[in-house]
Structure 1
Amino acid sequence: MHKLPVETPTKIVDRYFESIGWKPFRFQRSVWRAYQDGQSGLIHSATGTGKTLAAWMGPLLRWLQENPDRTKWNPKRSPSVRVLWVTPLRALAGDTEASLREPLDALQLPWQLESRTGDSKASAKSRQMKRLPTALVTTPESLSLMLTHERLLPQLAGVEAVIVDEWHELLGTKRGIQTELALARLRRLNPQLRTWGLSATLGNLEQAKDALVGVNPTGTVRIIEGYKKKRMKLESIIPARIDRFPWSGHIGTKMVPQVADRLDQVNSALVFANTRSQTELWYQHLLRQRPDWAGKIALHHGSLDTSVRRWVENGLRDGSLRAVVCTSSLDLGVDFTAVDLVLQIGSPKGAARLLQRAGRSGHQPDAESRLAFVPTNALELIELAAAQDAIRKGCLEARPMLNKPLDVLAQHVVTVAIGGGFVSGELLEEVRSSRAYESLTDTEWKWILDFVVHGGSSLTAYPDFHRVEQDGDRYVVTQRRTMTMHRMNIGTIVSDASMKVKYQKGATLGSVEESFLSKLNGGDKFLFAGKLVELVRVKDNVAYVKRAKGQPDSVPRWMGGRMPLSSELSAELRLKIEQAADGQLVGREMRALEGVFELQSRWSTLPRANQLLIERVETRGGHQLFVFPFEGRLVHEGLAAVLAYRISKLQKTTFTMACNDYGIVLQSPHRVELETVVDVNVFSTENLFGDILSSMNSTEMAKRQFRQIARVAGLIHPGYPGQRKSTSHVQASSNLFFDVFQEYDPDNLLLEQARREVLELQLESSRLFAALERIENSEILVREPPKVTPLAFPLLVDKLRERVSSETLGERIARMQTQLEKAADE
Structure 2
Amino acid sequence: MNKNELFHIANNWFESQSWKPFPFQKQVWTAFLQGKNGLLNAPTGSGKTYALWIPIVLDYIKSNPDYKSQPKKGVLAIWVTPLRALSVEIKNSAERFVEEIGVPLTVGIRTGDTSQKERAAQNRSLPNLLITTPESLQLILASKAYDKKLSSLVSVVTDEWHELLGSKRGVQMELALSRIKSIAPKLRIWGISATIGNLDQAREVLLGPGSNAYKNSVLIKAKINKKITVKSIIPKKMEIFPWRGHLGLHLLEEVIPIINNSKTTLLFTNTRSQCEIWFQKILEKHPELAGEMAMHHGSINKETRIWVENAIRDATLKAVVCTSSLDLGVDFAPVETIIQIGGPKGVARFLQRAGRSGHQPGKESVIYFLPTHAMELIEASALQKAVESQKVEDRIPYLNSYDVLVQYLTTLAVSDGFYPEEIYEEVITTFCYQTLTSDQFGWILNFITLGSQSLHAYDEFQKVEIEVDGRFKINNKGVAMRHRLQIGTIVSDAVLTVKFLKGGYIGSIEEWFISKLKPGDVFTFAGRNLELFRVKNMLVLVKKSKQRSSIVPSWMGGRMSLSSEMSQLLREELYAVAELLNNSIESNLYRPDLLTKISTKTLSRELRSLLPVFKRQVKESMVPAHNQFLIETFKTREGYHNVFYPFEGRFVHEAMGSLLAYRISLLTPITFSIAFNDYGFELLSDQQLDMQQVLDNDLLSPQFLKSDLEKSLNATEMARRKFRDIAVIAGLVFTGYPNKLIKSKHLQSSSQLLFSVFKDYEPENLLLQQAYTETFEHQLEEGRLQIALDRISSQTIVWKACNKPTPFSFPIITDRLREKLSSEKLADRIKRMLSNLEKR
Query: What TM-score comes out, normalization by structure 1 length?
Result: 0.97
Residue 542 of structure 1: which of 528, 539, 542 is its match? 539
Residue 282 of structure 2: which of 263, 279, 286 is its match? 286
Determine helix, strand or coil for the equivalent of 1:287.
helix
Corresponding residue number in structure 1 for 2:6: 9
Q: Within 2, Cα distance between the matches of 1:816 and 1:166? A: 47
Corresponding residue number in structure 2 for 1:90: 84
Corresponding residue number in structure 2 for 1:372: 368
Whether the 8 Å CA contact 1:42–1:196 is kept in 2: the answer is yes
The yes-or-no answer on 1:671 pairing with 2:688 is yes
Shift in Å, 1:604: 0.8
Residue 446 of structure 1: which of 434, 442, 463 is its match? 442
Q: Within 2, Cα distance between the matches of 1:656 and 1:122? A: 53
Q: Letter of the 1:570 partner, please give it.
A: S
Q: Within 2, Cα distance between the matches of 1:49 and 1:116? A: 25
Shift in Å, 1:736: 1.1
Moved more, 636-645 or 380-389: 380-389
Residues 6 and 438 of structure 1: is their aligned pair in 2 closer, same or farther, counting only changes over 3 Å?
closer
Q: Within 2, Cα distance between the matches of 1:191 and 1:577? A: 55
Q: Kindly report the root-mean-square deviation, in angstroms, between the aligned alpha carbons of the 2 structures.
A: 1.7
Equivalent positions of 1:183-332 (< 5 A) are: 183-219=177-213, 220-227=216-223, 229-332=225-328
The yes-or-no answer on 1:772 pairing with 2:766 is no
The yes-or-no answer on 1:633 pairing with 2:650 is yes
Corresponding residue number in structure 1 for 2:607: 590
Q: Letter of the 1:594 partner, please give it.
A: L
Q: Within 2, Cα distance between the matches of 1:186 and 1:754? A: 29
Residue 44 of structure 2: which of 43, 47, 54 is its match? 47
Q: Within 2, Cα distance between the matches of 1:675 and 1:145? A: 61
Residues 582 and 802 of structure 1: is their aligned pair in 2 closer, same or farther, counting only changes over 3 Å?
same
Q: Within 1, Cα distance between the matches of 2:233 and 2:655? A: 34
Q: Within 2, Cα distance between the matches of 1:783 and 1:726? A: 50
The yes-or-no answer on 1:152 pairing with 2:149 is no
Q: Letter of the 2:114 partner, please give it.
A: S
Corresponding residue number in structure 1 for 2:54: 57
Q: Within 1, Cα distance between the matches of 2:635 and 2:224? A: 50
Corresponding residue number in structure 1 for 2:800: 783
Q: Percent identity?
A: 45
Whether the 8 Å CA contact 1:252–1:376 is kept in 2: the answer is yes
Determine helix, strand or coil for the equivalent of 2:212.
coil
Determine helix, strand or coil for the equivalent of 1:22.
coil
Per-residue deviation, residues 73-103 of structure 1 (Å, max 9, x unmatched): 24xx444211000000122222221222221
Q: Within 1, Cα distance between the matches of 2:824 and 2:236? A: 27
Q: Letter of the 2:118 partner, please give it.
A: A
Q: Within 2, Cα distance between the matches of 1:459 and 1:608? A: 57
Residues 552 and 490 of structure 1: is their aligned pair in 2 closer, same or farther, counting only changes over 3 Å?
farther
Whether the 8 Å CA contact 1:79–1:110 is kept in 2: the answer is no
Residues 413 and 698 of structure 1: is their aligned pair in 2 closer, same or farther, counting only changes over 3 Å?
same
Shift in Å, 1:789: 0.7
Q: Letter of the 2:785 partner, please give it.
A: L
Whether the 8 Å CA contact 1:49–1:227 is kept in 2: the answer is no
Residues 227 and 561 of structure 1: is their aligned pair in 2 closer, same or farther, counting only changes over 3 Å?
farther
Shift in Å, 1:5: 13
Corresponding residue number in structure 1 for 2:528: 531
Whether the 8 Å CA contact 2:228–2:387 is kept in 1: the answer is no
Whether the 8 Å CA contact 1:575–1:608 is kept in 2: the answer is no
Residue 654 of structure 1: which of 671, 680, 700 is its match? 671
Corresponding residue number in structure 1 for 2:409: 413
Residues 389 and 6 of structure 1: is their aligned pair in 2 closer, same or farther, counting only changes over 3 Å?
closer
Corresponding residue number in structure 2 for 1:516: 513
Residues 131 and 726 of structure 1: is their aligned pair in 2 closer, same or farther, counting only changes over 3 Å?
same
Shift in Å, 1:494: 0.3
Shift in Å, 1:35: 0.2
Q: Letter of the 1:654 partner, please give it.
A: T
Shift in Å, 1:39: 0.6
Determine helix, strand or coil for the equivalent of 2:792.
helix
Corresponding residue number in structure 2 for 1:116: 110
Per-residue deviation, residues 631-660 of structure 1 (Å, max 9, x unmatched): 000000000000011112122211111000
Whether the 8 Å CA contact 1:705–1:758 is kept in 2: the answer is yes
Q: Letter of the 1:67 partner, please give it.
A: N
Residue 568 of structure 2: which of 554, 561, 571 is its match? 571
Q: Within 2, Cα distance between the matches of 1:60 and 1:575? A: 49
Corresponding residue number in structure 2 for 1:168: 162
Q: Letter of the 1:537 partner, please give it.
A: R
Determine helix, strand or coil for the equivalent of 1:606.
coil
Per-residue deviation, residues 336-369 of structure 1 (Å, max 9, x unmatched): 0110001100000011111000000000110000
The yes-or-no answer on 1:644 pairing with 2:636 is no
Determine helix, strand or coil for the equivalent of 2:655.
helix
Q: Letter of the 1:141 partner, please give it.
A: E
Moved more, 381-390 or 273-282: 381-390
Corresponding residue number in structure 2 for 1:744: 761
Q: Letter of the 1:184 partner, please give it.
A: S
Whether the 8 Å CA contact 2:82–2:164 is kept in 1: the answer is yes
The yes-or-no answer on 1:729 pairing with 2:746 is yes
Shift in Å, 1:589: 0.9
Q: Letter of the 1:455 partner, please give it.
A: G
Determine helix, strand or coil for the equivalent of 2:30.
helix
Whether the 8 Å CA contact 2:346–2:562 is kept in 1: the answer is yes
Whether the 8 Å CA contact 2:393–2:565 is kept in 1: the answer is yes
Q: Provide structure 2 residue ranges, at least 5 long, that are not aligned to the other structure.
A: 581-598
The yes-or-no answer on 1:606 pairing with 2:606 is no
Shift in Å, 1:191: 4.2
Corresponding residue number in structure 1 for 2:594: none
Residues 644 and 497 of structure 1: is their aligned pair in 2 closer, same or farther, counting only changes over 3 Å?
same
Residues 227 and 297 of structure 1: is their aligned pair in 2 closer, same or farther, counting only changes over 3 Å?
farther
Residues 99 and 586 of structure 1: is their aligned pair in 2 closer, same or farther, counting only changes over 3 Å?
farther
Q: Letter of the 1:801 partner, please give it.
A: R
Whether the 8 Å CA contact 1:607–1:613 is kept in 2: the answer is yes
Shift in Å, 1:807: 7.3
Q: Within 2, Cα distance between the matches of 1:509 and 1:769? A: 45
Determine helix, strand or coil for the equivalent of 2:520.
coil
Q: Within 1, Cα distance between the matches of 2:217 and 2:181? A: 14
Moved more, 797-806 or 663-672: 797-806
Q: Letter of the 1:791 partner, please give it.
A: F
Q: Within 1, Cα distance between the matches of 2:838 and 2:82? A: 49
Q: Within 2, Cα distance between the matches of 1:550 and 1:261? A: 30
Moved more, 772-781 or 743-752: 743-752
Q: Within 1, Cα distance between the matches of 2:802 and 2:633? A: 7
Determine helix, strand or coil for the equivalent of 1:665.
strand
Residues 5 and 392 of structure 1: is their aligned pair in 2 closer, same or farther, counting only changes over 3 Å?
closer
Moved more, 272-281 or 391-400: 391-400
Q: Within 2, Cα distance between the matches of 1:260 and 1:280? A: 17
Equivalent positions of 1:418-567 (< 5 A) are: 418-472=414-468, 473-567=470-564
Q: Letter of the 2:712 partner, please give it.
A: S
The yes-or-no answer on 1:136 pairing with 2:130 is yes
Equivalent positions of 1:58-77 (< 5 A) are: 58-69=55-66, 72-74=68-70, 77=71
Determine helix, strand or coil for the equivalent of 1:544.
strand
Equivalent positions of 1:677-826 (< 5 A) are: 677-803=694-820, 808-823=825-840
Whether the 8 Å CA contact 1:390–1:396 is kept in 2: the answer is yes
Shift in Å, 1:804: 5.3
Shift in Å, 1:215: 2.6
Moved more, 563-572 or 186-195: 186-195
Moved more, 653-662 or 519-528: 519-528
Per-residue deviation, residues 203-241 of structure 1 (Å, max 9, x unmatched): 111111111111333252111001464111110111111
Determine helix, strand or coil for the equivalent of 2:109.
strand
Query: What TM-score comes out, normalization by structure 2 length?
Result: 0.95
Q: Provide structure 1 residue ranges, at least 5 long, that are not aligned to the other structure.
A: none
Q: Letter of the 2:830 partner, please give it.
A: I
Q: Letter of the 1:575 partner, please give it.
A: E
Whether the 8 Å CA contact 1:390–1:568 is kept in 2: the answer is no
